[in-house]
Amino acid sequence: MSRVRVLGIGSPSGDDQAGWLAVEALLGLGVDASQLDRPGANLVSLLAGVDHVILIDAMQGGGAPGQVRRFERHDWRGYDQGLSSHGFGVLDALALAEALGGLPPRLDLYGIEIASAHPGAAPGRAVRTAAVRLAAGIAARLGEAV
């Protein structure tokens, strides 16, 4: 089996915990996964040394909270907006990793649609449910790959 790294990105702000919730559910299913708190450019180093990276993050794409979308490379390739270190996000880090030739052979990027991200607030039910469901799907696919 190829070496897989599962990373859930989030912050302690309401629905923005979506990636962390998916990691918690994956750990409960026996899948090794890590929670990351706004890693910025440090994400680049976490994409190295493995064959397959699964990234789970919150997104605000205008859809219903809890909706899950899987992004393909063409969705974010060419992304080259002005960067600020305060706003150095996942797509910035992926674009930087790509420029450095540091993307893993396989990268699955999942976004969980969120409603609100108030600091200190609990995540909403739709996001909690979606994170558990996404985790189950990922665990099952990883299981099949064994």
Partner 1 sequence: MPEQKRTVAIQVPVLTRVEGEGALDLRIDDGEISELRLRIFEPPRFFEKFLEGRHYSEIPDMVARICGICPVAYQVTAAQALEALYNVELSPWARAMRRVFYCGEWIQSHSLHIHLLAAPDFFGCSSAIELAKLAPEEVRRGLRLQALGNALMDLFGARSVHPVGVRIGGFHGAPSEARIREMREKLAAALPDAEALIRWTAAIPVPQDDQAFVSVATRHAHDYAIEGGGIAASDGLAIGVEAFDDHFAERHAPHSTALYAAYHGQPYLVGPLARLNLNHDRLPPRIRALLAETGLALPSRNVFHSLVARAVEILLALSEALRLLEGYRVPDSPWVPVTPRAGVAQGCTEAPRGLLWHRYEMDADGCVVNARIVPPTSQNQARIEEDLRLSLMSFGLDHPDDALRLHCEKVIRNYDPCISCATHFLTLNVER
13 burial level (CB within 10 Å; 0-12, 13-18, 19+): middle
Which residues contact partner 1 (rule: CB under 8 A)?
37-38, 40-42, 44-45, 80-86, 88, 92, 95-96, 99-101
- Alpha-carbon span 53 to 11, nearest angstrom: 20
Closer residue to partner 1 (CB): 31 or 96:
96
Closer residue to partner 1 (CB): 81 or 129:
81
Q: Least distance from C-beta 119 to partner 1, angstroms? A: 9
Q: Least distance from C-beta 94 to partner 1, angstroms? A: 10
- Alpha-carbon span 91 to 75, nearest angstrom: 10
Closer residue to partner 1 (CB): 41 or 140:
41
Q: Least distance from C-beta 22 to partner 1, angstroms? A: 20
Q: Least distance from C-beta 135 to partner 1, angstroms? A: 24
Hey, how many other C-beta atoms are within 10 angstroms of the C-beta on 120? Answer: 7
Sign of CA dihedral 122, 27, 8, 66: negative
